[in-house]
Structure 1
Amino acid sequence: MTDGPWHRRHRQAVDVGLAVFFALVDTGATLAGDSWWPARPGPLAWTLLGLQVLACLSLAVRRRAPITVLAVLGGFTLALTLLISPGGLLTPKNDSTIWAPYATVLAAYGPLFYRENRANRELRKAGWRPRDPRPTWLPSPRWTEYTWLALLSLVVARVWEPSLPVLTVGLLRTAVGPLLALYMDTRRRLELALTERAERAERERHLLAEQARTEERVRLAGEMHDVVTHRLSLMVLQAGALRMTAPDEATRQAAEEMRAAGCQALDELRDLVGILRTAPAEDQTPSVAGFAALIAESTAVGTPAELVEEGDRALASPVVGRTAYRIVREALTNVRKHAPGAHVTVRVSYEEAQVRLSIRNTPPTQRPNRALVGTGSGLGIPHLRQRIDLVNGTLRAGRSPDGGFAVEATLPAYIPTAESAV
């Protein structure tokens, strides 16, 4: 079962690949004479080339320490520049080019973009969840990032040796990353704002629908009380009068039975009106926290099961958690009926946007009990499909290649309901 695109599940591998790529590109460009490489390289040039490779490889930690990566590449560029001029220890073949590595383009992207990621990690440590209101107590130290970027721009553009081509190319090289980071950050903030607005509208719609249902129940209760109770009361009174005036015992007995039935109907109607006037009880189906109990229950009755959970349970909203619980419960029930002796593996993955479930069992080792199989209605999976369709999820159920059976479901992690409007 996959948990998302490969590049998101292996971000460190992606960063390492980018670091190696830029190290090779910068090395090739330097040796080709597009940068600071001298016409007659000596030990110092080869040493600096090795240091440049190490500086480019620092991109491997650009998400966790973007300022550090920026400082490493900026420090290398500054040291190289000072050795060339005014140090005079190195003479480039072409002194009108940019001496900074191409890796500085990617390094300049990190400080502004990944600052938000660090802030989100601090929020999560404090107990914040992605759909909670964002607190305002976090500092916004962007001046630090801007200061480092300004220093890098000054070093790359070599402002102490003004040259229009170098200034232009240098400023463009260090400006592309921050501008792209600001664009991506603004876009992400806009998407979050639009998502929050849509979820708020959905919660309000659910609240209005719940209010309308409550008002309709009250109206129906009033109609039943006013109309039906009135007619039943007349019937009871007429039956009582008939009992008193009937000339024979059989008629009096029938009238008494009619009167007693009417009184009982009035009592039951009173209870029914009370139920209609009261809001319905909440769904008591357990949520994702009940998975462990299901697994223990299944193991206790002879169907060994294993639970594997990945991610944060809090990402699943209440209605999604209850739907997921029903899926796992129905799948385990089917295994006990149709595949006795099989081993079951339940995998649950909680992600920002969706919750993935996979319930797989091995082939059965015993013959199914016909009496137990006959107790089912055959509508378990169809009913699950209906419930999953209500939350815009997907369900796949069928035999697996090893002879077992697999149930896989994908549910949206968050469904705004009246429960969410807190």
Structure 2
Amino acid sequence: MVGVLVVLLVCGALWNCYRNEGHRTVGPWVGLGLQMVVTLALMARRTRPVAVLGASTAAAVLMSLSVWLAPGLLMTSVDGAGMWVPLAAPFAAYSALVYAGRMRMSLVLTGALVTVAARPWELSFAVTASGLVLMAVPALLGMYVAARRGLIAALTERAERAEREQYLLAEQARAEERVRLAGEMHDVVTHQVSLMVLQAGALRVTAQDERVRGAAEELRAAGCQALEELRDLVGVLRSPESAVRIAGGLCGGEETMNEVAWGLAGLVEESRSVGVDVRLRESGDCSGLSVVAARTAYRLVQEALTNVRKHAPGSSVVVEARYEVDRVRLWVRNTAPTEPLDTELASSGSGSGLKGLRQRVELVGGTFEFGPRPDGGFQVDSVLPAEPTDGYRGPHGA
């Protein structure tokens, strides 16, 4: 647009020079210089629209005064037929009203340009009509565009606010459902598990056989652990804000970081006690591991060993944990199964354990991969940061 105006100005100046041939005058070139300055100022119409409009108004005033004070200097046509405003003035008025809005200064300067262009003191229909078309129409168009943009912005903000309110309502509904589920879980599951623990404790006291008493004690301890973890889960469902504290311990307490290795060792011993050949390999120092990463690592190995017991009977397993400065790398690999599959045991569960692990690992900023091995076995590989990344939202998101 600026280039087109410059070409028009040069053509106009050459035409005026041709018309005034034989007369010694610098008017066309001085007027051309003023017009080009105002035209080049349009390049800042988006960032400084009021300043550009002010420059156009000042140029229009100078051009009008030159008609009376210095005829032929800025206006070569002094017979009243020419327009006494720069060619860039309509674009300056439009830009000011679009980008600066209905500011008092914008309206005052635009009114001044319209007055100079229409020249109401001459009472000429042609001059007044051309001046209004040249200046008033772009000004009105700028006001319309500004109003339309403001309306679109208001509607967009209203839609975003409605979306946020809908999100908050959905969060409130989820919180209420979470509390209801927590109550159901506490009333149904906890009651039955508590009965199981009490019966196992009674059997341990009344049984005559030492092996029966030992098995009853193991059953009672497993029930107590299940109650403890169930209590943690119910706490997460009832109060998501407390989930970070709950996720901090491997067994519900506030362990030191050196007990991370004990937690993995305990999982390995549990699997060995039921006949699974499991070996644990550890390297590095786990003291720099956060409680969140420790709990995630514990759950990952726990789920992987559970899947081995359910889907790969008779296989041998290697659990490897490598503690580095800023992360921990975990591998759980098992060979191909060598015993018949217990279909009833394999079909138990929801079938979403690995998917849940992936979500849990990604929440703390880690990576999680799993899949079959060439020898017919299965592997689970994961890398966990020692400290949760900025995207960590708490374990209630898993």
Cα distance in 2, alignment partners of residues 91 and 193 from structure 1: 48
Cα displacement string for residues 226-266 of structure 1 (whole angstroms, at most 9, x for unaligned residues): 11121122223333333444454444444344333333332
Structure-to-structure mapping, 1:280-295, within 5 angstroms: none
Equivalent in 57, 63, 82 of residue 74 of structure 1: 57
Which of 97, 100, 121 is equivalent to 1:115?
A: 100
Out of 171, 183, 205, the residue aligned to residue 222 of structure 1 is: 183
- The verdict on how the C-alpha distance between 1:221 and 1:163 changes in structure 2, with shifts beyond 3 A counting, is same
Compared CA separation, residues 247 and 64, structure 1 to 2 (3 A):
closer
Q: Which stretch of the first structure deviates more once superposed, 68-77 or 157-166?
A: 68-77
The whole-number CA distance in structure 2 between the counterparts of 1:207 and 1:199 is 12
1:155, 1:176 → 2: CA distance? 15
1:98 alignment partner, SS class: coil
Residues 273-297 of structure 1: CA deviation (Å, up to 9, x unaligned): 2232221658xxxxxxxxxxxxxxx
1:261 alignment counterpart: 222
The answer on 1:168 being equivalent to 2:129 is yes
Q: 1:179 Cα shift?
A: 1.6
Matching of residue 187 in structure 1 with residue 187 in structure 2: no
Map 1:192-211 onto structure 2 (within 5 A).
Answer: 192-211=153-172
Q: How does 1:14-413 map to 2 (within 5 A)?
A: 18-29=1-12, 31-32=14-15, 42-46=24-28, 47-85=30-68, 92=77, 95-115=80-100, 142-246=103-207, 248-279=209-240
Q: CA deviation at 1:173?
A: 0.9
Structure 2 CA distance, aligned partners of 1:251 and 1:76?
Answer: 106
* Kept after mapping to 1: 8 A contact 2:67/2:78: no
Q: Take 2:65 and 2:209, find their aligned partners in 1: how far apart are those partners?
A: 126
1:109 partner SS: helix
- Whether contact under 8 Å (2:85, 2:117) holds in the other structure is yes
Distance 2:205 2:21 in 1: 128
Over residues 27-67 of structure 1, what are the superposed CA-to-partner deviations in whole Å (9 max), with x where a residue is unaligned? 3245547xxx7687541433333333333333333344434
Percent identity reads 47
1:108 is displaced (CA, Å) by 1.5
**Structure 2: where are the runs of 5+ without partners?**
245-330, 332-357, 363-392, 394-398
In 2, distance between residues paired with 1:273 and 1:232? 14
| SS of equivalent residue, structure 1 residue 169 | helix
Gapped regions of structure 1 (runs ≥ 5): 1-17, 117-139, 283-374, 376-382, 388-416, 418-422
Q: 1:173 to 1:154 in 2, by over 3 A?
A: same
Shift of 1:106: 0.8
Specify whether residues 277 and 55 from structure 1 end up closer, same or farther in structure 2 by C-alpha distance, changes over 3 A only. closer
The answer as to whether partners of 2:35 and 2:87 remain within 8 angstroms in 1 is no
Provide the C-alpha distance between the structure 2 equivalents of 1:181 and 1:28, rounded to a whole number of angstroms: 28
- Residues in 2 aligned to 1:84 and 1:270: alpha-carbon distance in whole angstroms: 92
Matched residue SS, 1:242: helix
Q: Partner residue of 2:261? A: none
Q: Distance in 2 between matches of 1:70 and 1:99?
A: 15
**Aligned counterparts of 2:32 and 2:65: Cα–Cα separation in 1:** 15
**Is the 2:50–2:105 contact (alpha carbons within 8 Å) kept by the matching residues of 1?**
no
| Kept in 2: contact 1:38–1:93 (CA 8 A) | no
Larger of the two Rg values belongs to structure: 2
Deviation at 1:168, TM superposition (A): 0.7
1:164: Cα distance to partner? Answer: 0.2
Counterparts of 2:47 and 2:222 in 1: how far apart (Å)?
A: 77
CA gap 1:213/1:244 in 2 versus in 1, 3 angstroms: same
Tell me what 2:301 maps to. Answer: none
Describe the superposition over 1:77-121 as per-residue Cα deviations: whole angstroms up to 9, x where unpaired.
3433444358666773874343433221112223323325xxxxx
- 3-state SS in 2 of match to 1:193: helix
Moved over 6 A (4+): none
Q: Which residue of 1 aligns with 2:370?
A: none
Asked whether the 8 Å contact 1:108–1:177 carries over to 2, the reply is yes
The offset of 1:163, in angstroms, is 0.7
- Structure 2: distance between partners of 1:21 and 1:252: 99
3-state SS of paired residue (1:92): coil
Deviates more, 1:45-54 or 1:155-164: 45-54
TM-score relative to the length of structure 1: 0.49
- Is the contact between residue 77 and residue 99 of structure 1 (CA under 8 Å) also seen in structure 2? yes
If asked which structure has higher relative contact order (CA below 8 Å, sep 6+), I would say 1
CA distance in 2, matches of 1:26, 1:91: 13
Q: Is the 8 A contact 1:19 1:59 kept in 2?
A: yes
Structural RMSD (CA): 3.5
Q: Is the 8 A contact 1:107 1:177 kept in 2?
A: no
Q: Give the alignment's TM-score, normalised by structure 2.
A: 0.52
- SS of equivalent residue, structure 2 residue 120: coil
Equivalent residue pairs, number:
243
Q: Could you list the per-position Cα deviations for residues 181-220 of structure 1 after superposition, in whole angstroms to 9, with x for gaps in the alignment?
A: 2122212212221221222122222222322332232222
Contact 2:93 2:139 in 1 (8 A): yes
Structure 2 Cα separation of the partners of residues 87 and 256 of structure 1: 113
